[in-house]
Every structure is written in C-alpha cells, then in structure tokens.
Amino acid sequence: MPTLKTVVDGFVCQQTYDNATLGRLQFWVDQLGDKELSAISEDEVDAALIRLAERGKLRAGRGLATEPVGKPLAGSTLNRYVGQLASVFKYARRLRLLPRAHVPPTRGVEKAPENTQHDRYFRPEEVERLVKVARLIDSKWGRMEALIVLAYHTGLRKSNCLGLRWRDVDLDERTARVGKSKNGDPIYSALSQRVVGLLRKLPDKKPDDLVFPGRKGRPFDIRRLWVAVCAEANIQNRTFHSLRHGCGHALANAGTNQAVIMKIMCHRSFAASARYMHADANDKRDVIDRVFDHG
C-alpha cells in the first residue's frame, strides 16, 4: 500500500496547481506523509487540523509560504484543507489504490463554521439586550436570563443547556458535565462567575432535577418565550443557536487560541484534540473569566 506522500507525488503530476493548493498538499504530506493511505484515521486528520488551527496563517509571498504570522485561519480555509485531502483519496480510488468501498477519513470530519452571514451571531451588546428583556418579561418561568447567559458564556448547544441536571453542575468548581468523549471520558464546560451567580439564584436544586425544567419532568420548551424576548429586544433573524456562534466570536475577538475555543465549545473533535492540547479545567475557567467576567 503506498504512503500518502507517494500518492500526492502522483496527484500533482495531473496538472499545474497554484501555490495555495500545493501548500495545502504539503501540509498533509508534512503531517501524515509517511503513513500508508489506508491506515490514516479520522482522529489523525482531526489532530492534524488542530495543529493547523494552532499554526494559523502563513506569510504570503513568492513560492510556498512557511512563516506563521500569528493570525487565525478562517473556517472556509480549514474546510479547503479537508477538501484537498479528500481529493487525494478520490484520486487513489480512481487508480484502484484503494477499494471503491473505502470510506476516506475526511468523511467524518466536522466542517468548520464559515462566516457567510455576519448577522447570524450575537454581539455582546445584543446579548445584554436579550438579558434585560428576559429579566423583565419572564416572570412566570424565571429562568430565561440564566439560560441565555449560560448559552452565550459556554457556547453550549440548546440541547446541552436544556438537558442539564443539577447533578451535572458543580457551582463551587464552576463546571458543568455536558457529555462524554468518544472514549467515554466526561466532557466538562467551564462556567463564568456570572453564570454561577445566576444559577445559585434558581430554586429546586435536587440532583435529579433539570436545571431548566418544563412540565412533567421534561426540558422547558423555550420557543414562544425566545420569540417574545427577541421581538421585545428588537433582534431579528437569530436563533438560540446564534448564541453559540456569538460565544465563538467573542472568544476569538479576545485572542483565544482556536484549539482552546474548540475545547471550550465542546467541538465534536474534542476526543482528538484532548491528546494534543492540554487545556484543563483551570485553563478553560481562566479564558471564560477573561472574556466574560471582565467587569
């Protein structure tokens, strides 16, 4: 079975490629070139992408760029790297170097979000408008303010937020257990001081109770309340998931390393990144404090 480098050497003979394409191919050769093509795993691709995100942009110039400039890569750029590797595997299948039924390791890699519409995430001042309105109009349920701030400060998905039970939350350690990695290890999200303060005010903290309960022990259906809060805050075309995107933007704007952002937001490649990044609970709390509890 040929190595990735051998296949790439043949791939580039098909036509003349620009330096950007050659640079992407060289990255994969540098990362995985000595491995047999059929032995490359999804986790190894994930891990290489973590290193790519850490490296960031390279200085442009004649020939292949090699010097990092300290700026993050756009999500669309990361996706092009994945697409480039996928094209190499497609080329190998065409040459019968791999079985036609072979599933390339790029198939299961989660695409990086691409900022195609700038209005689809919440800015800090917009979140504060939501919070003030929620505090005013949510007199019956009384938990919408805490839910909004939790989602924005952690980047958790709505299902993770609404599925939280008090046994998953440690207010003293400022962590929330939000799932498990591929190898069964628990995944923890760091909680800001503001989130902890709001959660402490909530009643009924029995371990098996939902933090955000609805009727008959089910998670609360926030749809009507969310629409009402957004309308009163004069915010349009945003979903609850936009709070997650807003968290990512806030962290990035504060200069947070992209690999740490992926861990804070419980990105799907957490299991792979955990082997190469060492942001523990204290590291994540420090980042959350710096971004969201700065005064």
Per-10-residue mean pLDDT of the chain, 295 residues long, equals 95 89 94 96 92 82 69 83 96 94 89 62 94 96 97 93 96 91 80 97 92 91 94 91 88 76 67 36 72 74
Domains and CATH numbers, the chain: 4-94 (no CATH), 118-292 (1.10.443.10)
Helix (H) or strand (E) run with residue 180 in it: strand 175-180
Residue 268, pLDDT score: 59
> For the packed helices 19-32 and 75-94, what is the interaxial angle rounded to 10 degrees?
80
The pLDDT value given to residue 278: 39
Quick one: pLDDT at residue 198?
Answer: 97
Report pLDDT for 269: 52
Biggest distance spanned by C-alpha atoms of the chain: 68
Alpha carbon 172 to chain centroid, angstroms: 26
Query: Which backbone phi and psi does 3 adopt, to 5 degrees?
Result: -80, 165
How many CA atoms within 13 Å lie on the side-chain side of 97?
A: 21
Nearest in space to 267 (alpha carbons), one of 70, 117, 50: 50
